[in-house]
């Protein structure tokens, strides 16, 4: 049974259906109970009305008995009259009292508990709309007035109807019929049970139908919106990275967002797969070119094509240079991999000192290229937690690039400052070099991207990618502003 239920609730549609049904039924129950609670006074009123209606024949019957009792005053008649009252009480499921007025002493009680006690109707009851009227002048023959209201007897709340049974001079006897006021909950249950069965059943059936249709509709909308997403994940899982979810078919807002994000994720996955392919292609190409040279020149040395000492020296020089280039490439790749794996060795880094050191190490190269190198440190001491070797690598790559792209007589400035508002520190490398076009500015951070596609100059196009990885691993950002023919400004910002 439990297994079947679980299987049934396994689908989103069924679960929604079930939840809706439960909620609807709960709401319905609360509504019925509220309605009945509000209705309680009205129901009490109508019950009193009914009691009053059958009181009259009872009184008439009682009077005929009482009249004979009054005439006969024999015990046998009295017993018969009381038996008659007892039978009426049990037949109508009520309690009957005879009350001697005006002192209110109870003469007879159909349950025989209150004989001798005082009968005190509660005047504050909301049902006590009709006031007690003087009955002194009534005679047995006339239609007696029926009074109804609420009363407290033996600590219990009762509804009652009462009427004059017999009057003599200034005293009289009232016939009182009592019905216990049920507790609120009991009254409600009774009210529900009182409702016609057909009405209850048809109401429930109609509600079930409405809830069922509504739930099917809502659940249908959810599943319809989910289907394109399911198809998308299936396609992606089976390697079709070009598949995109058609968001027009996803109507629910949250699922629409999910579908959009799914497409963005698919874009990223596709991009990263493409980048991986490019990476392999670029690495192979970058390693192949020096290897071809090395192979060619070493072959020339081996087979004696390089005959003269000068030719042999030249071959050896090329082999050495290309081997050097290969080493650099491999080192760059390893560096990139290490930064990607996020193995930073964090320590307190004095950025002013770091900047000064890097600038000093570049002085000879700049002097040789006749490019002026300036260092503008921050006025105060700037320390951050960072990987000093990696940060040195960042500054070296930026200065190296600036030097490569700035002609003789140009200038390069490395500056360090605190960006107080953003709680960051910023290094800028400003050069008066050739500059970069706006389209290229967007792409230069990509791996293996080189402005000079012919690869006649510069490195493998990994320098800026490494800069970006390192800075981002430190929680920072990178950027560039450049104007062709005027110069470029590269900046990196690190959290202070």
Site residues (vs ligand ADP, CB under 6 A) = 401-402, 405, 431, 433-434, 436, 444, 449-452, 458-465, 488
Q: Within a 10 A sphere around the Cβ of 111, how many other Cβ atoms?
A: 14
The values of phi and psi at residue 246, to 5°, are -80, 100
Minimum CB separation of residue 8 from ligand ADP in Å reads: 60
Q: How far is 459 from 475, CA to CA, in rounded Å? A: 26
Closest CB to ligand ADP among 151 and 462?
462
Q: Within a 10 A sphere around the Cβ of 91, how many other Cβ atoms?
A: 10
Minimum CB separation of residue 354 from ligand ADP in Å reads: 20
Q: How far is 242 from 422, CA to CA, in rounded Å? A: 40
Minimum CB separation of residue 418 from ligand ADP in Å reads: 24
Q: How far is 159 from 303, CA to CA, in rounded Å? A: 127
Q: How distant, in Å, are the alpha carbons of 314, 375, 415 from that of 379?
A: 51, 12, 11
Q: Which residues contact 81 (CB under 8 A, 6 or more apart)?
A: 62, 65, 66, 68, 69
Minimum CB separation of residue 436 from ligand ADP in Å reads: 5
Closest CB to ligand ADP among 177 and 478?
478
Instruction: Give the pairing type, strands 411-419 and 372-376.
Output: parallel
Minimum CB separation of residue 412 from ligand ADP in Å reads: 8
Burial class (CB in 10 A: 0-12, 13-18, 19+), 233: middle
Closest CB to ligand ADP among 215 and 282?
282
Minimum CB separation of residue 255 from ligand ADP in Å reads: 41
Residue nearest to ligand ADP (CB): 463
Closest CB to ligand ADP among 134 and 454?
454
Closest CB to ligand ADP among 245 and 402?
402
Beta carbons of 275 and 445 less than 8 angstroms apart: no
Minimum CB separation of residue 461 from ligand ADP in Å reads: 4
Closest CB to ligand ADP among 250 and 462?
462
Minimum CB separation of residue 400 from ligand ADP in Å reads: 8
Closest CB to ligand ADP among 223 and 413?
413
Q: How far is 128 from 115, CA to CA, in rounded Å? A: 24
Q: How far is 144 from 202, CA to CA, in rounded Å? A: 45
The values of phi and psi at residue 14, to 5°, are -65, -35
Closest CB to ligand ADP among 329 and 474?
329
Minimum CB separation of residue 404 from ligand ADP in Å reads: 6
The values of phi and psi at residue 351, to 5°, are -70, -30
Q: Which residues of 333-344 are buried (b: 16+ CB within 10 A; e: fewer)?
A: bebbebbeeeeb
Closest CB to ligand ADP among 40 and 451?
451
CA–chain centroid gap for 44, Å, is 48
């Amino acid at each position: 049974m439990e297994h079947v239920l679980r299987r049934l609730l396994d689908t989103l549609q069924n679960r929604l259906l079930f939840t809706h049904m439960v909620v609807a039924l709960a709401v319905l129950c609360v509504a019925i109970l509220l309605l009945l609670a509000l209705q309680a006074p009205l129901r009490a009123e109508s019950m009193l009305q009914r009691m009053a209606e059958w009181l009259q024949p009872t009184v008439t019957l009682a009077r005929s008995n009482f009249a004979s009792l009054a005439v006969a005053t024999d015990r046998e008649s009295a017993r018969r009259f009381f038996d008659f009252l007892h039978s009426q009480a049990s037949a109508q499921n009520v309690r009957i009292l005879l009350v001697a007025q005006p002192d209110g002493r109870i003469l007879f009680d159909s349950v025989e508990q209150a004989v001798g006690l005082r009968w005190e109707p509660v005047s504050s009851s909301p049902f006590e709309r009709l006031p007690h009227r003087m009955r002194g002048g009534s005679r047995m023959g006339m239609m007696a007035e029926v009074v109804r209201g609420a009363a407290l007897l033996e600590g219990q709340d009762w509804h009652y109807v009462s009427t004059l049974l017999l009057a003599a001079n200034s005293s009289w006897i009232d016939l009182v019929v009592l019905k216990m006021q049920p507790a609120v909950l009991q009254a409600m249950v009774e009210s529900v049970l009182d409702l016609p069965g057909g009405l209850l059943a048809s109401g429930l059936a109609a509600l079930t139908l409405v809830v069922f249709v509504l739930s099917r509709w809502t659940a249908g909308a959810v599943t319809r919106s989910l289907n394109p997403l399911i198809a998308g994940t299936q396609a992606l899982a089976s390697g079709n990275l070009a598949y995109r979810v058609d968001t027009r078919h996803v109507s629910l807002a949250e699922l629409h967002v999910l579908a959009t994000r799914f497409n963005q994720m698919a874009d990223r996955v596709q991009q990263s797969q493409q980048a991986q392919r490019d990476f392999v292609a670029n690495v192979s190409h970058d390693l192949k070119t020096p290897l071809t040279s090395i192979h060619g020149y070493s072959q020339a040395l081996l087979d004696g094509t390089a005959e003269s000492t000068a030719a042999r020296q030249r071959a050896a020089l090329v082999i050495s240079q290309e081997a050097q280039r290969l080493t650099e490439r491999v080192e760059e790749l390893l560096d990139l991999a290490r930064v990607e794996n996020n193995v930073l060795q964090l320590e307190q880094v004095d950025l002013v000192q770091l900047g000064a050191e890097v600038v000093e190490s570049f002085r000879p190269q700049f002097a040789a290229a006749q490019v002026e190198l300036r260092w503008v440190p921050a006025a105060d001491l700037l320390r951050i937690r960072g990987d000093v070797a990696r940060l040195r690598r960042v500054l070296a790559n930026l200065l190296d690039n600036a030097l490569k792209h700035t002609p003789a007589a140009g200038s390069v400035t490395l500056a360090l400052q605190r960006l107080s508002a953003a709680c960051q520190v910023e290094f800028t490398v400003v050069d008066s070099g050739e500059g970069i076009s706006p389209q290229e500015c967007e792409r230069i951070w990509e791996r293996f991207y080189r402005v000079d596609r012919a690869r006649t100059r510069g490195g493998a196009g990994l320098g800026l990618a490494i800069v970006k990885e390192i800075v981002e691993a430190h929680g920072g950002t990178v950027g560039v502003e450049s104007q062709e023919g005027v110069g470029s400004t590269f900046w990196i910002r690190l959290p202070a």
